[in-house]
Amino acid sequence: MTDKPALLQEVADLEKKLDSVSLPPELKEKTQGMIERLLRMARYGEYSTEYEKTSHYIDWVTSLPWDKRSQDILDLENAKKILDKNHYDLVQIKERILEYIAVLNLNFKKNESRLRAPILCFVGLVGTGKTTIASSIAEAMGRKFARIPFGGLGDPLDLRGQSRLRADAEPGLIVKALRRAGTKNPVILLDEIDRVADESRSSIMGVLVELLDPEQNSSFQDHFMDYPFDLSEVLFIATCNNTTNISVAVMDRLEPLQMPSYSDEEKITIGRDYILPKALEESGLDRQTIQINPDAWSKIVRPLGYDSGIRTLERTIYSLCRKVAKMVLQGKERSFNLNADNIKDFLPNW
């Protein structure tokens, strides 16, 4: 049996953790009541089980950003520079994002408490850059970024959390994203919202409506936390492959932007100027190690046939760099000039 001084020390540690953060007054009172209950139970038994539950809850409560915000950067020139650095072309998409940031800027100057710009939803095929452009928006605005994958999501409780009455209860994905971000005004990407499980689609869409509606998300209730969290400062961005499986109520709160497929010429530019330099760096190779002639790029961007996105292109270039890295380490050569004649020796064997 645990001695009484040790029990008191455990409770004191929880109290210290509570005092180290700023909590809403009602939540502070609630958690202090839980600690007082622990002290009473220490006298009559069943303390260890209750301690685990209370400690787990307080750990989550104290780790959430109740009053922590990042400072927004709403400079259009800075945003344009970051978008151009991370993404080739996409002129119309970039222009719409700059308009979006401009609206946020004007609302900020008016001291609006909530964001009035519509919530962007990037619609497009796999590999067209939907997720990466969302992270670029966060970078451009100086905000933290968190992603919630919806692919295969089968239970609205995955978003809302589970009641603490359950032994294995956990907060939902929304609260977990806030904890990862560490601020109450991050950019949260709701990724592939059209790919939830069919049997739970309607209930999950209901949670999405609450998340995306500024009249409702100021007091979002996670079942595990059992206390409302203000999501009105979160900048939500959604992605989907198509809008067919998204409810009308959710679409009413979104502004869909179609992500275009890439032509071969665009892929060559993206591969040469964006993917290859990154792949060389991550493979430990110098920029001069690989020189690719223009006549070889057509075979790199289309090894199997037409692909709307750049996922296959990325895999091909990274595989090529790994093969060269191995040859360099084996002492075969220090630099490689790839052309239409020898490129097949460096491409993956599909």
Q: Are residue 156 and residue 246 in the same domain, yes or no? A: yes
CATH number at residue 307: 1.10.8.60
Q: How far apart are CA 151 and CA 34, in angstroms?
A: 37
CA–CA distance from 107 to each of 16, 69, 136, 214 (Å)?
A: 39, 17, 21, 14
Residue-level pLDDT at 49: 74
pLDDT of 114 above 70 = no
**Confidence band (pLDDT; 50, 70, 90) for 38?**
confident
Q: Are residue 212 and residue 87 in the same domain, yes or no? A: yes
Q: Give the ranges where the chain is alpha helix by DSSP (H).
A: 4-19, 25-44, 47-63, 76-86, 91-109, 130-141, 157-160, 173-181, 201-212, 248-251, 264-270, 276-282, 294-301, 311-329
**Domain assignment of residue 275, yes or no:** yes
**Domain assignment of residue 314, yes or no:** yes
Q: Are residue 280 and residue 225 in the same domain, yes or no? A: no
pLDDT of 195 above 80 = yes
Residues 289-304 have pLDDT tens digits of 999 999 999 989 986 6
**Domain assignment of residue 341, yes or no:** yes
**Confidence band (pLDDT; 50, 70, 90) for 1?**
very low
**How many CB atoms lie under 10 A from the CB of residue 317?**
26
Region of poorest pLDDT, from 27-41, 143-157, 243-257: 27-41
Q: How far apart are CA 295 and CA 176, in angstroms?
A: 48
What kind and span of H or E run contains 235? strand 235-240
Q: How far apart are CA 61 and CA 59, in angstroms?
A: 6
Q: Are residue 275 and residue 161 in the same domain, yes or no? A: no
Residues 17 and 63: beta-carbon distance below 8 Å: no
Task: For residue 234, report the phi and psi dihedrals to the nearest 5 degrees.
Answer: -75, 135
Task: For residue 283, report the phi and psi dihedrals to the nearest 5 degrees.
Answer: -90, 0
pLDDT of 75 above 50 = yes
Q: Are residue 25 and residue 48 in the same domain, yes or no? A: yes
Q: Are residue 106 and residue 59 in the same domain, yes or no? A: no
Q: How many domains does the chain have?
A: 3
DSSP letter (8 states) at residue 164:
T
Q: Which domain holds residue 21?
A: 4-63
